[in-house]
């Protein structure tokens, strides 16, 4: 990103703000007893900044606090709310815990609850696509790099000689075609769930 791009930064800010606002809504629902619990992601909003560097075919194995990145990828506030309440209509049909968004259409893999254990699954996806140009993002939380599963994943990536990939920086968020979903926060959303 050689020059300042107001449109890009405004879009990223919208996702960051939406993530922070989702915390408020989810906390309120939990306090009213409408949700069993919620996973806050305040303080991790800057993860949205990864979105311009990813393509629609890249795979994301997000940490549960990567909500801003998930929103930038195309997860909607409606998806988050349906997941929070365990309702059908969400990409996981209410089967995931709140904060563990997934969506096949967005190449967004569901996160396991064990700290650092998503690294093993991310390495498995990387092995499956290693001959292509796509990348696999694996987000880890506090202490995840000290877990055995993470260390096993790194060892397997080395053993399998998985490639490191870099790509040129983009100066805008990828745009999705117009959708029948109505107004949306995310410019990357390609279709309704």
Q: Domains in the chain, start-ordered, CATH in brackets?
A: 6-159 (3.40.50.970)
d(CA 160, CA 163): 9
Helix, strand, or coil (residue 138): strand
d(CA 118, CA 61): 7
159 burial via Cβ count (<10 Å: 0-12, 13-18, 19+):
exposed
pLDDT of residue 167: 62
pLDDT of residue 181: 30
pLDDT of residue 39: 86
- Count of H helices and E strands in the chain? 5, 2
Extract the residue ranges of the chain whose pLDDT is less than 50. 1, 175-193
pLDDT of residue 76: 92
d(CA 80, CA 105): 16
pLDDT of residue 185: 32
State both tokens at 17. Answer: 């703000």
Region of 182 please: left (phi>0), alpha (psi -120 to 50) or beta: left
pLDDT of residue 15: 96
Global pTM reads 0.81
d(CA 165, CA 113): 27
């Amino acid at each position: 990103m050689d020059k300042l791009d107001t449109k890009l930064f405004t879009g990223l800010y919208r996702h960051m703000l939406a993530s922070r606002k989702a915390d408020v809504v989810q906390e309120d629902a939990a306090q009213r007893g409408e949700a069993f619990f919620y996973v806050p992601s305040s303080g991790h909003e800057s993860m949205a900044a990864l979105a311009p560097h990813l393509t629609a075919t890249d795979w994301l194995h997000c940490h549960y606090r990567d909500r801003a990145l998930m929103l930038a990828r195309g997860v909607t506030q409606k998806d988050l709310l349906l997941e929070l309440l365990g309702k059908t209509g969400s990409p996981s049909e209410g089967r995931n815990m709140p904060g563990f968004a997934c969506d096949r259409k967005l190449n967004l893999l569901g996160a396991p609850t064990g700290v650092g254990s998503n690294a093993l699954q991310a390495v498995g996806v990387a092995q499956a696509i290693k001959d292509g140009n796509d990348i696999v993002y694996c987000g880890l939380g506090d202490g995840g790099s000290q877990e055995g599963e993470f260390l096993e994943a790194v060892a397997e990536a080395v053993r399998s000689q998985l490639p490191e990939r870099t790509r040129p920086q983009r100066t805008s968020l990828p745009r999705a075609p117009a959708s029948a979903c109505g107004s949306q926060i995310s410019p990357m959303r390609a279709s309704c769930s």
